[in-house]
Structure 1
Amino acid sequence: MAGQAEVELANRQGRLHPSQRGKVLDGSFWLAAIFAVAGVVTAVVVPATTIDTRFGAGLASSSAAAALGTAIPILLLAVWLAFVCWRRLADLRAGRLVVITGWTRDFGRQRPDPACPIALSTRLSKGMNEHFYLTAGGKEFQLYSKELRARIQAERVNAVYLTPRTKLLINVLPA
């Protein structure tokens, strides 16, 4: 396990630390990858198993059209999911991070000002639980990690580290 100082040094140099790869290849990546593979397999297997030529050419062409009508949307969805996975892998291969540096304001339960480079805000859910959000670079991130939320200091300059293509929040450090 890498030390926090080593991770921060890599981030400050604009690099993704190897211990942070799990943030890029998280559960949503693996779910998209599984569905992409399953979609390709289904798009190939469905037409191959539904075309039955024993009843003549007329029935074979109608079953082929029905099979392709099912397979094409599945294949398009699989291609889109594969593209999403490719973007994450490209971020991982590049290993570079985008840095957004600026004054951080804590707006509490008010709506953040879009002109503020980095903003913190809090919202209550229906169950009256507080959810913390960080807005940087025009994108809003929910802060699930309490340790990350505790590290972000309002009313000072912070640096937000994002992946270049997918804009995933990797780290926030005082600048």
Structure 2
Amino acid sequence: MTTAERAEVELANRQGRLHPSQRGQVLDGTFWLAAVLAAAGLVTAVALPVTSLETRFGAGLAAASLVAALGPAVPILALACWLAFVCGRRLADVREGRLVAITGWTHDFGRQRPDRAYPIVLRTRLSKGLNEQYFLVAGGKEFRLYRLSGLRERIQAERNNTVYLTPRSKLLINVLPA
């Protein structure tokens, strides 16, 4: 990303808007996987009872056989509805394009646990392979900061920062010095 593009993105975020180049952060691979699974679950929840009723029971259908045919479809339909709800929240975040800003003093605790609640907290944990993993806690939610995202390098500890989140799905979009 060039300096001019980064300045444009930061200006949009400071105005509380999601920049069009950041839509990919909301509609990422997780979104598309959930969308495909929701569609497949809906098709399966409809097709499973229909094929089961036609082949197994024929025209004479009793009440017990209806329950037996619908039994496997209900959990699949519930899961598909939940995945569709999650996808709908992300789509609404992109459609509205608003961001929630959390501004406050950023405390870097390293590997220690915070003694109380702070607006923005940086933490470090050791994983099983003894690699350090960085986390940001803001708005009551913990976000993992991946090395490839570049957010960890932009956060300046022990000063005021502003964290930008999507309002519905609570995804970390950007962190800027306040």
TM-score normalized with structure 1 length? 0.93
Distance 1:81 1:54 in 2: 32
2:172 match: 169
Residue 43 of structure 1: CA displacement?
Answer: 0.6
Identity %: 71
- Specify the SS of the correspondent of 2:168: coil
- Specify the SS of the correspondent of 2:104: strand
Distance 1:20 1:112 in 2: 31
Distance 1:120 1:16 in 2: 24
2:52 match: 50
Distance 1:114 1:82 in 2: 37
- Pair 1:40–1:56, CA change in 2 (3 A): closer
Alignment of 1:150-165 (within 5 A): 150-165=153-168
CA offsets 1:53-72 (integer angstroms, 9 cap, x no match): 766626x6544322200111
Structure 1 residue ranges without an equivalent (≥5): none
- Pair 1:114–1:142, CA change in 2 (3 A): farther
Counterpart pick for 2:151 among 126, 148, 165: 148
TM-score normalized with structure 2 length? 0.91
1:133 match: 135
Letter matched to residue 98 of structure 2: R
CA RMSD after TM alignment: 1.7
1:95 match: 97
Letter matched to residue 104 of structure 2: G
Residue 79 of structure 1: CA displacement?
Answer: 0.7
